[in-house]
Structure formats: C-alpha cells, structure tokens
Amino acid sequence: MILFGREQPSFEQCCQGRDRLPLHVIRFHSMGKNLRNSITYRFAATMETRPYLSKTALSIDIQALGRQISEVQRRDGEIPWNPGGKTDPWDLVESAMGLSIAGYLAEARAAYDWMANKQLPEGCWYTAYGKGIPEDKTKDANMSTYIAAGVLHYYLITGDKRFLLEMWETVEKAIDFALRLQAPGGEIHWAISPEGEVDHMALLTGSCSIYMSIRCALAIGKVLGFSNRRWVSSQHLLGQAIRFKPYLFNMTKSRYAMDWFYPVLAGVLTGAAAKQRIDRFWKKYVVNDHGVRCVSDRPWITVAETCELTMTLAAMGNRALSEIVFNWISDKRYEDGSYWCGYTLPDMTIWPEEKLTWTNAAVLLAADALYHLTPASRLFYHGLRSEQKRDVPV
C-alpha cells in the first residue's frame, strides 16, 4: 500500500511491533500532541496531490468529527451516544476508534480504561449504562468482544505495546465470555438476560462481529507472544456456521442491512463469495445516490450503515465503488461538520436529529479505510486474510 508516496506496512507487519515498523510510521506514531494537526495536514496534502478524489474526500472535517466525539465524552472516559444519552460497550469502542483516527489518543485511551474498569468478573459488560450506572443488565456477547478490535486498532496507530499488555487480560476475559456461549453448531448465543438465563437465539450480524473480534484478539496475542488454539478452533466453527448454516441464525433480522454486509465486512466471506453476496442483495438495501436503508422495508437511510458498506467494499478491494457510496453522504452534515444519523425518503427528513458519536466515528473509519489516514486503515482488508491464515490457521 502506498501512502504519501511511501510504502505502508501490511496488517501483519504492523502487528509485529513498533520496533519493526518503517521509520516514517514510527515518526507518525511519535507525534504526541501534534498528531491531530499532522493527520489533518497529511490528509489535506493527499487531497491536493490527488485531484481526482471525490468531493466527499475534500469536504471531510476530521477535526470536527473527532471534536464532536471528545466533547460528548465524560471525564471518566465514558462515551455516550449523545449528551445525556445512553452508553453501550460496542458503540463506545467504535467511538474510541474514531477518536484514535482523528488524533485524540488520550481520549481514546481514557475510553478503553473506562471499559477495563467496568468489565464484570465473568468478562462481559452490561448492555447499557447512563453516567456509569447500568441501565440494562443484559450481557451481550457481541458487545463484550468488540473491545479486541478497538485495542488492536489503537495499537496499530500508536505502536504502544505496553497498552496491549495492560489490556490483554480484559480482552482475554471478554473473548472467553463469548465463547462460553458457543453452541455445538458453531453459532454463539447472543446474550444472558438480567435474570441470568442464556438466550439461545443467535444473531448473524453479532456473530460476524465476534468472528472479527476473535481475529483481532489472536493478532494481539501474537504480538505479545501468546497463543490460544481453543480460540482458533472456535473461530473456525463460527465461520463454518456463518458460511454454511444460515438456519442457525434468527432470520427475522435479515431485514436489517447489517445482516447483508457484515459477513463480508468481518472477513467471513471473501473473494467470489463476498462479491456474490453483495451483488445479490444490493437492490434490496441500497438506494442509489442516497445510501443504505437500515431496514430493507423502511424508507430510512442511515449514515453509519452507508459508511460500513463503504468499509466493506474497501475491504474487498473495490475502491471505485466504495468511494461512490461514500460520496453519497458527502452533504449529509450539519454546519459544524458532524454527520446526520439518518434521513427518510423521499421527504429528506433528518431523523433522529441528535448528533451521535458512533455515527461520526463510522465516517472516520470509512474515510480511513478509503484514504489510509492511519496505519490502522487496513484492519478489515481481505487481502490480509491469506497472511493471517499462514500464521493462524482457520
């Protein structure tokens, strides 16, 4: 990968440790307080040297997006959806990833510290919090494992191996919690109720996200010199269930766009199988020139789902179509540079009107996947699966 005229490290190279990264990447990691300005400068310089890039790329205000997330963040590191809104573990991690991309590394680190401090003894988190107080005591497997993706993402940007070591126990406990809910067929039961009962329903989107999180946890372990063959085996079983046993998952959720593209985004389906899935259901979920319907039978376009489809297409290597999709949301912004959550068609009514942290984080992740703003831009890239399989067979 070429970025700013230089060869960039692959995912595998980045995961080998800071000391093995090319010098220009180490300098990138070492900018400290100047990182935000550097990312903005590098992005602007890239745009100037690539005049063919879309108006979306030219109009992204990275600082505004990072600032919106940081201003909502509470002093203890918690990141709610919006001021006074709820916090859930998955979206907090997504928001922390957005902060890292925008150069708000101290704020991202505070979010991960909050997660570590709130982790329950069995390795999970409650589904929803308000000002640190549990509001929904459901224990969701997917919401608990996504911490692995966030921790690896932070490491790829900072090269901070000490952070990985400090967070390893948190990640390990989180993955183990989810895998205790894995059924013999490979699917993972989605949650434990507040009353302590396992809900045996399996969700396709959540299971795909868990698959990706296990991959990230294995990568972290490799950096630290740890291995876990049980995780490898469990990921393999989960992948087989997703690929070949759709009847194991709640099919009523197939109305949701994430059930369509998450098997591809998470890397469960790659190559021809990924292309076939995206092509087969494109018209069901996508409104050309607008974006992705959150739910196939509802006239509601959401920015986050559109950004995740952008990331999916970029992960597949379809840069051209990825940029077209990202371009559709170029003007779906408030005056302060933050993005709408979504809007209805054909009346173009913004709904909801709140400025959501995780929506802005999704825009940053999509921008990074497309324009390689940070060394973590290839986190979801399918071209790296072959590298992973040589070292971690699945």
Q: How confident is the model at residue 12 (pLDDT cuts 50, 70, 90)?
A: low
Q: What is the pLDDT of residues 91-123, one digit of tens each?
A: 999 999 999 999 999 999 999 999 999 999 999
The whole-number pLDDT of residue 155 equals: 98
Q: Is the sign of the CA dihedral 211, 216, 219, 224 positive or negative? A: negative
pLDDT > 70? residue 40: no
Rg (CA), the chain: 19
Q: How many residues in the chain? A: 394
The residue among 296, 208, 308 whose CA lies nearest residue 248 is 208
Could you report how far apart the first and last alpha carbons of the chain are, in Å? 25
Angle separating helix axes 89-102 and 105-118, nearest 10 degrees: 160
Domain boundaries, the chain: 2-391
CA proximity to 370, closest of 335, 324, 332: 324
Cβ(391)–Cβ(11) below 8 Å: no
pLDDT, tens digit, 9 for 90 and up, residues 47-88: 454 444 454 555 789 999 999 999 999 999 999 999 999 999
What strands lie across the sheet with 189-192, from one edge to the other?
139-140, 189-192, 198-202
Given a cut of 80, whether residue 41 has pLDDT beyond it is no
List, for residues 238-290, the tens digit of each pLDDT value: 999 999 999 999 999 999 999 999 999 999 999 999 999 999 999 999 999 99
pTM above 0.95, yes or no: no
What is the per-residue pLDDT across 125-157, written as a single tens digit (0 to 9) for each? Answer: 999 999 999 999 999 999 999 999 999 999 999
CB 29 within 8 A of CB 159: yes
Contact 343, 351 (CB under 8 A): yes
Task: State how far the Cα of 260 lies from the Cα of 240, in Å rounded to an integer.
Answer: 17
Instruction: State the CB neighbour count (10 A cutoff) for residue 119.
Output: 20
The distance of Cα 35 from the centroid of its chain, to the nearest Å, equals: 21
Query: Residue 15 — very low, low, confident or very high, per pLDDT cuts 50/70/90?
Result: low
Distance CA 97, CA 152 (A): 10
221 token code pair? 């372990």
Q: Is the pLDDT of residue 39 over 90?
A: no
232 touches 215 (CB < 8 A): no
Residue 192 pairs in a beta bridge with 139, 198
At 221-232, the pLDDT tens digits run: 999 999 999 999
Which CATH number among 1.10.10.10, 3.90.420.10, 1.10.260.40, 1.50.10.10 corresponds to the domain 2-391? Answer: 1.50.10.10
